[in-house]
Chains A and B, each alone.
Chain A
């Protein structure tokens, strides 16, 4: 366990774990406050803030107008001057309206000012497909932000991690962007009570194996674990790494694993081309693990298309368990 102080655990959903982290942070530190659209009485589009407005009042659980650029920028300004805002995008897609403040301001302010300030802002991005919400409400654009030095970009995959990583993000002096897959919100898992942190920038080995390394992000961790279970029945022993953080990226954990298994597959929901998998593959090609590879690296990512509305098409757009099983089998048996 990489958490620092842990007590008893109980089962919480991913959304509840986020809410608990925010409540703990607000209780510990009066500088922490929440901003976002409909996060007050409505409770947030995915009920993540829930009833927090009743506990902390509208001054600390602030509904903003529908103004993503301005709202994100106000959070940046408050962060630079001493507050600890947590800004919720209603859907990660709407962060495209706020790119200016995220990319040009939040990410670079400390650098441009020669280290005179820091920007301790946290932004939350409900992301991903699978809800039938079509092209403008289903994207996985984390790699965009992963490309920007100055930002930290994380994708916790479990209730335990999202609570601990969000608390770490709030403590972090630099801007941290949290990508939360919408289909994870209802997922349950054991979550420690009270305060603990999970470090940003460390991957987790979710399953050990000898034949193949799968590096997966967010919901793809669970799909990869399901696939690994099926593959085990065929005698294929898969190691599954939960990347957890795409910037900074835990290169060593991946390199070590590939040196052991000699095969690498990357599984992520964002569009395959120029995505997280491209970075992992290139990083391995540059590393000592390259000499250990027994087969070409395989990337399973999103199709080269916007997310369609039709449910069958939507499913076909992103990696599914069957596809992971087949690709892994082909890779290990040399069928490709």
Chain B
């Protein structure tokens, strides 16, 4: 059964502040804002580099979905792992990756996280617990369950987060993965970023139940719906799911309702949704604006502090692109490297 969306507690009531203000110190909250900006500006930088022909191929931008990536990863350590999706830049940054090496990957350079072999769709920073974006919708679901199986067998106490989109819930892999995670009570949290569409196909047209979280009932795990554009709501649901996972009680399915501002990829005419709908989300429900306003209201940051974060992020992005540009290309002689493990 899916719980209903949690409401943020009254903002003026200090004793009953939203979850993150009770859970994390101010430094951590300011860093959460910084990460959201880092994601937004990274995406904008990637988009611009693509337009200018510096990046080829395709990419899927997560602008508008920053609160979900950051809210989910807020309480995780580098040892906790995630599996990500084709729309995975935000997850990678939220988990702690360095944007310079991400840009370098997009530029196809040896200094990139995948040494120029993977690109946007396979971005990963294993050192911060990111097992990788995925070009296959639903591809990460069983892998996350496998990672959680390792955590259980090795008694590491780590949790695994499996990010996936609303479209992925109609793949067989989703159903098989959730079932196994449930029967074996594995420490995994399934995080559906429901942005309303799988490419051009709306959830209503593709999925038989109104909410992805409704599917949880079939696999005997809690299904929680949150406003995916509110950092605190996301983080609170994640906290509960993490506790459950670490206590050996098994998986949770969290559905973050959110929205992507950009087209599906670089070739999208947006014929399946209206301009008004996009506008409405951008102007009324922007996750960064909302979080910023909240932080100011609770006295965590002031206008000057926000400006400093923005400026810092701007410089970090600029430096990242510069690093990517100047990094070396891989050598064709190494084409067949990394296919198999090199052995002595």
Contacts and interface: CB of A to CB of B under 8 A. Distances in A.
A40 B136 contact: no
B16 interface: no
Contact of B200 (A63, A304, A308, A317): A63
B219 to A, nearest CB: 18
A38 B199 CA distance: 7
B122 A42 contact: no
A65 interface: yes
A40 B205 CA distance: 12
A81 to B, nearest CB: 23
A65 B119 contact: no
B201 A132 contact: no
A137 interface: yes
Given A66-B138, A66-B170, A306-B339, A132 B119 contact: yes
Contact of B57 (A93, A305, A309): A309
Contacts of B173: 97
Q: Which of A93, A132, A311, A317: most chain B Cβ within 10 A? A: A132
Contact of A132 (B58, B198, B272): B58
A231 interface: no
A313 interface: yes
Contacts of B170: 65-67, 70
A87 to B, nearest CB: 16
Nearest to A90: B199
B335 interface: yes
B205 A63 contact: yes
B200 A133 contact: no
A134 B137 contact: no
A40 B200 contact: yes
Contacts of B267: 45
A67 B206 CA distance: 10
Interface in A1-51: 37-38, 40-43, 45
A40 B272 CA distance: 9
A313 B135 contact: no
Contacts of B205: 63
A273 interface: no
B168 interface: yes
Interface string B188-208: 000000000011110001110
B56 interface: yes
Contacts of B330: 308, 310, 312-313
Contact of A135 (B109, B135, B200, B336): B135
Interface residues of B, number: 43
Interface residues of A, number: 36
Interface in A295-319: 303-306, 308-313, 316-317
Interface in B253-281: 267-269, 271-272
Interface string B326-344: 0001101001100100000
Contacts of B201: 37-38, 63, 65-66
B118 to A, nearest CB: 6
Contacts of A303: 335-336
Contacts of B117: 134-135, 306, 308-310, 313
Contacts of B172: 67, 69-70, 97
B167 interface: yes
Contact of B335 (A38, A94, A317): A317
Contacts of B119: 132, 134, 309-310
A133 B116 contact: no
B167 A65 contact: yes
A251 B173 CA distance: 41
B251 interface: no
Contact of B198 (A65, A137, A312): A65
A271 B134 CA distance: 22
B339 A135 contact: no
A306 B335 CA distance: 10
B121 interface: yes
A136 interface: yes
Contacts of B200: 38, 40-42, 63
Interface in B21-74: 56-58
Contacts of A43: 269, 271
Interface in B125-183: 134-139, 167-168, 170-173
B171 A67 contact: yes
Given A38-B201, A63-B201, A131-B57, A308 B116 contact: yes
A207 to B, nearest CB: 30
A303 B171 CA distance: 31
Contact of B332 (A37, A40, A313): A313
Given A69-B172, A311-B108, A134 B335 contact: no
A52 to B, nearest CB: 14
A292 B201 CA distance: 57
Contact of B108 (A133, A135, A136, A309): A309
B186 interface: no
Nearest to B332: A316
Given A38-B201, A305-B339, A309-B122, A137 B135 contact: yes
A134 B332 contact: no
A313 B57 contact: no
Contact of A309 (B116, B138, B206): B116
A66 B122 contact: no
B339 A66 contact: no
A134 B108 contact: no
B58 A133 contact: yes
28 contacts: A38-B201, A41-B272, A42-B199, A42-B200, A63-B200, A63-B206, A65-B167, A65-B207, A66-B137, A66-B168, A66-B201, A69-B172, A70-B170, A131-B57, A133-B121, A134-B135, A135-B122, A303-B335, A304-B336, A304-B339, A309-B105, A309-B114, A309-B117, A309-B119, A309-B121, A309-B122, A310-B330, A312-B332
Q: Which 7 A-B pairs have the closest CB atoms?
A: A132-B57, A309-B119, A136-B135, A310-B108, A42-B200, A65-B170, A310-B116
